[in-house]
Structure 1
Amino acid sequence: MKPRIAVLGCGYWGSNHIRTLKGLGALHAVSDANFARAEGFASEQDCLAIAPDDLFKRDDVDAIVMALPPQFHADLSIRAVEAGKDVLVEKPIALTVPDAERSVQAAKDNHRVFMVGHVLRFHPAFEKLKALVDAGELGEIRYIHSHRLGLGKFHTENDALWDLAPHDLSMILALTGTEPLEVRGEGAALLDHLSDFAHLHMRFPNNLRSHLFASRLNPYRERRLTVVGARAMAVFDDVEPWERKLAVYHHAVWQDSGQWAATSNEPTYIEVEQGMPLTRELQHFLECIETRAEPRTDGEEAIRVLRILTAGTVTHGRIGG
């Protein structure tokens, strides 16, 4: 039997989890503070509707996917693991590093799977990009920059940095394999007190640098991650069609008589297996429940992301030495 999964939170992203888990044959129940909304999804998807206070007591629920406003994630994930449930918590898993650490420690203490919804780690194009980096195809990585821009999805608790940047930070951390030594952030609030634009500048060991730009007040969509290596450059552009999502550029740069020169070349588009990142993420969650393996996007990664977000919220922050 597949694990029996309940989705707590039937909002925009929770509804995607509900439909995807139904397709995977693992959806058992839905739950929401607005019980009428949960009943509507239960009727549509032919599953149970369970009130949130009752969800943690149910013996027929093996795991819970939490897609809630982030201020509720820490306390409810702790409640879930203490009730013997495995959890997948959407990002960010908490609003403070101490709360995130409490959640992760509670999962360890109760021997529960704790996975974080950094969904782009499961994008086939990113998986291929990481494989290229790990194989040394780009040479030593010198610089990584990401742009995540668009219009809308305003939240009462999350600014653009906390809402949008976790996706890219999880990818950057996976590519570098380490945390930044230094983080500098700045933002701009145009609508209210929450930043609608955010920039992060990070310095990693070996002088690797990274820059992230996130915006929810941009007239066009941009979903681009660029990796600059000593031998080649690669671009993961999620706005492009599948056959053009991952491009490698073998530009030549050299020094001649004290002057720098460059020759640009047409990109080589890397073949990428098509697949929905959310489906692949939830398949991974099911496998971790069944095998008790550590998730690819575990709680420790989420804590590292939160450290960067926290440091980037101030004018200047330092992590480590």
Structure 2
Amino acid sequence: MTKPRIAVLGCGYWGANHVRTLKGLGVLHAVSDANAARAEGFGVEHDCLAIDPCELFRRDDVDAVVMALPPQFHAENAIRAVEGGKDVLVEKPIALTVADAQRAVDTAARHGRIFMTGHVLRFHPAFERLKELIEAGELGEVKYIHSHRLGLGKFHTENDALWDLAPHDLSMILAITGQAPCEVRGEGAAVLDRLSDFAHLHMLFPSGLRSHLFASRLNPYRERRLTVVGTKAMAVFDDVEQWERKLAFYRHEIWQDSGQWLATTNEPTYIPVEGGMPLTRELQHFLHCIETREAPRTSGEEGVSVLRILTGGTVMHS
């Protein structure tokens, strides 16, 4: 089967990663950017076409488009792409409003096109292994999930810390729970400017499971940690750790004696995790969906679900 011909729209920081990865996979056909000189530079560097954005969606030699734009431009360009017969992978967040995101996803469905959301950590080998453990019942019933995504920098003009950082963890939490939260409460704090630099989200799910998320772009150290608490065990996916320590498994015992809760603590077991770059695995999955017409693991509807949380909670700003 002939390999799909992929174009990347948006050659900024993350778009450049897509360009390099798709080139390595042998499917990069074109690049496109509002800055023509930037696109030309990438075209020369990677030996591919540089196409004006206005022409991109009319091209018969482009089968699919990967979009890494400022999020306010994602929905309209995704709609133009699928109406032009292209499959799309749209980086997170896929829009700024649920209505725009849903319209883009619905348009793709009407035209029979693949719409995949760029939730790259769903393809991290450590998270995939964690999800396998949960589904196999190794943690028992999951009761609580908390995530911390902290660091310094990446100050966007339109995205605050919540919108820039939280989608990664929200996509993983939704994958674990398999349901949307019935209650979302949040709090953000703008320290440097008008956009929040810190954000907390508290979620309650219909099953009774609770989850807490903390995101910050004003933190002196990096933290990329997802903790899952079950009735039989706990597990921690720590992406800052080395590969052999990225997934820690804690077997615990908690019981009640004379009205008091007691617990035994155990040293973690580190679960072996196959190496592999999440972005490469994500794009390989996109190619698989293009070729087989299977629904993506991170569908457009998942992107809409994340937006519902980002926009639908009661979020206080200070």
Q: TM over 0.5: same fold? A: yes
Q: Which residue of 2 aligns with 1:109?
A: 110
CA distance in 1, matches of 2:249, 2:295: 31
Q: Which residue of 1 aligns with 2:121?
A: 120
Q: Which residue of 1 aligns with 2:239?
A: 238
CA offsets, 1:23-55, max 9 Å, x none?
A: 000000000000100111111111110110011
Shift of 1:315: 3.8
**Is 1:93 matched up with 2:94?**
yes
| DSSP-derived class of the 1:125 partner | helix
Q: Which residue of 2 aligns with 1:292?
A: 293
Q: Which residue of 2 aligns with 1:175?
A: 176
Q: Is the 8 A contact 1:5 1:65 kept in 2?
A: yes
Q: Which residue of 2 aligns with 1:186?
A: 187
| Structure 2 letter corresponding to 1:231 | K
CA distance in 1, matches of 2:66, 2:7: 6
- For structure 2, the 5+ residue unaligned runs are none
Shift of 1:205: 1.5
| DSSP-derived class of the 2:175 partner | helix
| DSSP-derived class of the 1:227 partner | strand
**Is 1:161 matched up with 2:162?**
yes
CA distance in 2, matches of 1:75, 1:262: 53
TM-score by length of 2: 0.98
CA distance in 2, matches of 1:37, 1:115: 26
| Structure 2 letter corresponding to 1:24 | L
Q: Is the 8 A contact 2:101 2:304 kept in 1?
A: yes
Where has structure 1 moved over 4 Å in runs of 4 or more?
A: none
Q: Which residue of 2 aligns with 1:34?
A: 35
Q: Which residue of 2 aligns with 1:319?
A: none
Shift of 1:207: 1.1
User: How many pairs does the alignment contain?
Assistant: 316
- For structure 1, the 5+ residue unaligned runs are 317-321
Q: How does 1:1-150 map to 2 (within 5 A)?
A: 1-150=2-151
CA distance in 1, matches of 2:313, 2:41: 40
Shift of 1:194: 0.4
| DSSP-derived class of the 2:313 partner | helix
Q: Is the 8 A contact 1:186 1:312 kept in 2?
A: no
| Structure 1 letter corresponding to 2:242 | P
Which deviates more from structure 2 when the two are superposed, residues 122-131 or residues 256-265?
A: 256-265
| DSSP-derived class of the 2:85 partner | coil
CA distance in 1, matches of 2:153, 2:30: 30
Q: How does 1:197-216 map to 2 (within 5 A)?
A: 197-216=198-217
RMSD: 0.9
CA distance in 2, matches of 1:135, 1:257: 33
| Structure 1 letter corresponding to 2:13 | Y
| DSSP-derived class of the 1:224 partner | strand
Q: Is the 8 A contact 1:202 1:209 kept in 2?
A: yes
